[in-house]
Structure 1
Amino acid sequence: MAIDLCNKSELRRNGNAATAKNILGSTLNNVSLPLIHPQQQEVLELAYQTTLGYTEPHYFVGDPAAWASDFGYALDRISMRLDSRPSDVLRQDALSHPDPVMREQALYEYVDRNECDAIELLCQIVEHDSDRQVRWDALWAIEKLGGQNAVQALQKFCFDADPEIAEWSSLFISELQTGDPTFDNRNCRYTPGRTFDETIFLLIHCDLYIRLDQKNQHWGKLSLAPQGLARVYGQAHACPNVETRERQLVIAKAISGLHADGSLHIDNYLFRGFTERTRADRGNFYFESQVQRPFYISGRADDPSMGFRDALIGFARQGCWYLDNRFKIREADAIRYVRGRFQGWGYTNLEKLAGKSLEEIIQPGNGILSTLHDPVTGPLTNVFISGTFKGKLNDWDRDGYIDLNSRDVYATTEGEVDTNMDGIADVPGLSCCPGKPTLHSV
């Protein structure tokens, strides 16, 4: 959340929307942006004004119930950082740590602190990092910082040799300028015989706000970069089918390195909700999920050493998906891009994590989703999870075609575990692999 708020306060210091309009007009006239034509300037100004309606709504609405009720924003202002590394160490780790997950984690923490050279460091990472996902996640962090400097930085990569880097760059620029994404002209490829029409790889960034005392006066914050989150909670794919995508979809997750035998930990979530379709090329949605999960008192998935409890876990996501009328699935336009926000509850065992390094903490399963509506899990719940996600169809095998549904996901259309991907549940109703036998329930 803090990254998304970093550079949005210039207008707040000037007091009113009229002053804001003057500043924006002056900025647009004085800064040369090659990708912004004169006729687009009015659209850009309107987009910035609209964005201010989200980040500084009190310019447009007077009731604090509307603009001062974001729980994540309130927590972000008072939470202490749990990553205590000095900024110079973060910068060095972002550039040279041997683990790409930890490079990215250091980078996102550095950017979250809004260091003056954050965009410069992000550009270095995009230019030189050897990991493809670190590169495009760094581009997303540039967009999160926002403003004219972000647009100018993103322009450098619009013609990158990697088509995915180039498309992400242009997409982020378009979002900053108009609010809507743009796509390149590559063709798509559909994989027949799959359970889902699309398997969209999700980038997820979130802040974990951790309650540190029973009086609710001390809070900690850990900002998880996309690859760090995927290592702990599992890499997620959004899996829609054309006929049902406006009312349900599956978020399929898999965690590597959790089970001792090397098998993947499968963790699927069936979401249901509403979609608004007043525009032919997009859908605004609000979806919720409720799934049965073992809640491990140890604070680590698949570790029953301190007991477990079956609980009904809830999660909410909302956002917007965009169609591409050149990509067809049974004569329907395919979803090419999705973005949005999510929130939920979690549990971390502070005693077990005390004294450990961040590398020891960001490990598979070291995060438990939770619920407040249970007599055992409710009092233990101590983490508020708030974040954003983006997902785009990519060319995964680098054959020049964008892949619609080639990613391996282990779920039925109802979110049940399906390890051989034949569309039939391994065990009817089971949406999470059972793991090892448990010791005792609580």
Structure 2
Amino acid sequence: MAIDLCNKSPAALARTDPGAWEEAVPSEAAPVLVDDLNVDQRDALNFAYRTTLSSVDPRFVAGDPAAWASDFGYALNRAAIRLDNRTNQELREQALSHPDAAMREQALFEYADRDLPDAIELLEQAVLHDANRELRWDALWAIEKLGGPHALATLTRFSKDADPEIAEWSTLFRSELQTGDPAFDGRSGKFTPGRTFDETIYLLIHCDLYVRLDDSNQHWGKISLAPQGLARIYGQAHACPNVETREKQLVIAKTISGLHADGSPHCDNYLFRGFTDRTRRDRGNFFFESLVPRTFFKSGHADDPSEGTRQASIGFARYGTWHLEPKFQIREEAAIRYVRGRFQGWGYVNLARIAGKTMDEVLLPGNGVLSTLHDPEIGHMTNAFILGTFKGKLNDWDNDGAIDLNSRDVYSTVDGEIDMDQDGVADRTGLTCCDHTTLMA
């Protein structure tokens, strides 16, 4: 998430030529004037401008400091040391040549997070040449995060990519930079009847993991986790709403691949509840929280009880906006086509487990667990503050030219219970995460 802070402080603007905005738009394209925007677009643009003020040096912002100087993540980002000690040259090389797509992507995001002057050029090379489809659209997201005319011009180059998903992601990110709102192509949608959820939205999640290195509270470490790296450790997440209940609850269904010896997915579901503001017909602004029972592994590695376990309640918060697509109808309601927002929670990182390890050895399935500060036995072990951003868009997963609304396999009931055969009935009442004792039996 700290990538979002790059190039946006007055100091960064003072030392970097941002370029001219006209350079970000092809010469054959007509410029979009502020006066040509509708009221909602102007409001969104003004809102996007105002929200960037929270990322700049507080000395340059007027108003109550309680409103703009209280971002814990921003404070930690300025103080933390990087736990990824690769050189810039190593990152450049691995971003383009590492055999593991998740590690290529991790190098890209780490490089962008360092705010290096050629970061957008490196990301562009990855979008142009990488064979991994997800890395390509994640790299486009990193370009948007860096922002500015250079990012806008680069995103524009991919708006007619041969892969429709790359083309739509680039158009979406470009539109967000220009107006604050996403834009989509004209493909039709496809709903699959008989599924537990009306939509299964694949989430891109980028987070900063800030780790307290000692009890003095003066030493912090940081790992900026790219979407595929985060999914490898904590699980690939899908947002799973149903139209009747989406304004007050939804399930985030996660699966970790490669954790169980038998090859089965590790399932980890979270039922979120909260409020949604529907004062606009085309979107919903939400704030949701989750509180779920979990086995806490004192080893710091999921499914490794070698150092003991503890049953605890784990909390997490997510907030943001979803955008509706009137063309995609589910029981006479518009489907959610796109969601974006922020999240935060707590975790435990076993520092002894990662000390002296390469990033290849750190980014392993389950090599990090969520935690809580409130449990009397394990609260003191909580040493990581997790926060970041997420985006999710409906995609065409089977390449038939139609957007798939709910075709993704998620192993959850509407209440977040494990449902491996996806029949809508819990495999075991109340179980929301794979039971490691059953797997070991």
TM range (shorter): over 0.9
Aligned to 2:9: 9
Deviation at 1:36, TM superposition (A): 5.9
Aligned to 2:370: 369
Deviations 1:109-138 (A, max 9, x none): 001001111000111000000000000000
Deviation at 1:28, TM superposition (A): 4.4
Describe how 1:28-39 pairs up with structure 2 within 5 A. 28=21, 32=25, 37-39=31-33
Deviation at 1:38, TM superposition (A): 4.1
| C-alpha distance 112-420 of structure 1, shift in aligned 2 (>3 A) | same
8 Å contact 2:199–2:242 — kept in the other structure? yes
Q: For 1:427 and 1:31, locate their aligned partners in 2 and report how far apart those are by CA, in whole Å.
A: 55
8 Å contact 1:206–1:224 — kept in the other structure? yes
Aligned to 1:53: 53
Q: For 2:25 and 2:133, locate their aligned partners in 1 and report how far apart those are by CA, in whole Å.
A: 30
Q: Residue type of the partner of 1:431?
A: T
Deviations 1:77-114 (A, max 9, x none): 00000000000000000000000000000010001001
Structure 1: stretches of 5+ with no match in the other structure: 15-22
8 Å contact 1:47–1:177 — kept in the other structure? no
8 Å contact 1:56–1:67 — kept in the other structure? no
Tell me the secondary structure at the aligned position of residue 436 of structure 1: helix
Deviation at 1:352, TM superposition (A): 2.0
Q: Residue type of the partner of 2:214?
A: D
Using the TM superposition, name which of 99-108 and 28-37 deviates more. 28-37
Q: Residue type of the partner of 2:184?
A: F
1:249 lines up with 2:243 in the alignment:
no
Describe how 1:11-30 pairs up with structure 2 within 5 A. 27-28=20-21
1:292 lines up with 2:293 in the alignment:
yes
Describe how 1:416-431 pairs up with structure 2 within 5 A. 416-431=417-432
Deviation at 1:33, TM superposition (A): 5.0
Using the TM superposition, name which of 41-50 and 184-193 deviates more. 41-50
Aligned to 2:131: 130
Deviation at 1:49, TM superposition (A): 3.0
Using the TM superposition, name which of 253-262 and 305-314 deviates more. 253-262
Q: Residue type of the partner of 1:366?
A: N
Q: TM-score if structure 1 supplies the norm length? A: 0.93
Q: For 1:29 and 1:350, locate their aligned partners in 2 and report how far apart those are by CA, in whole Å.
A: 48
**Alignment: residue pair count:** 430
Deviation at 1:358, TM superposition (A): 1.1
Deviations 1:54-92 (A, max 9, x none): 423855542211111000100000000000000000000
Q: Residue type of the partner of 2:56?
A: E
Q: For 2:133 and 2:381, locate their aligned partners in 1 and report how far apart those are by CA, in whole Å.
A: 38
Aligned to 2:65: 64
Deviation at 1:363, TM superposition (A): 0.4
Q: For 1:32 and 1:197, locate their aligned partners in 2 and report how far apart those are by CA, in whole Å.
A: 38
Aligned to 2:395: 394
8 Å contact 1:211–1:383 — kept in the other structure? yes
| C-alpha distance 29-423 of structure 1, shift in aligned 2 (>3 A) | closer
Deviation at 1:438, TM superposition (A): 9.8
1:140 lines up with 2:134 in the alignment:
no
Describe how 1:233-312 pairs up with structure 2 within 5 A. 233-312=234-313
Deviation at 1:162, TM superposition (A): 0.3
| C-alpha distance 175-38 of structure 1, shift in aligned 2 (>3 A) | closer
| C-alpha distance 268-53 of structure 1, shift in aligned 2 (>3 A) | same
8 Å contact 1:308–1:438 — kept in the other structure? no
Aligned to 2:199: 198
8 Å contact 1:320–1:339 — kept in the other structure? yes
Structure 2: stretches of 5+ with no match in the other structure: none
| C-alpha distance 32-159 of structure 1, shift in aligned 2 (>3 A) | closer
Deviation at 1:46, TM superposition (A): 3.9
Tell me the secondary structure at the aligned position of residue 273 of structure 1: strand
Q: TM-score if structure 2 supplies the norm length? A: 0.93
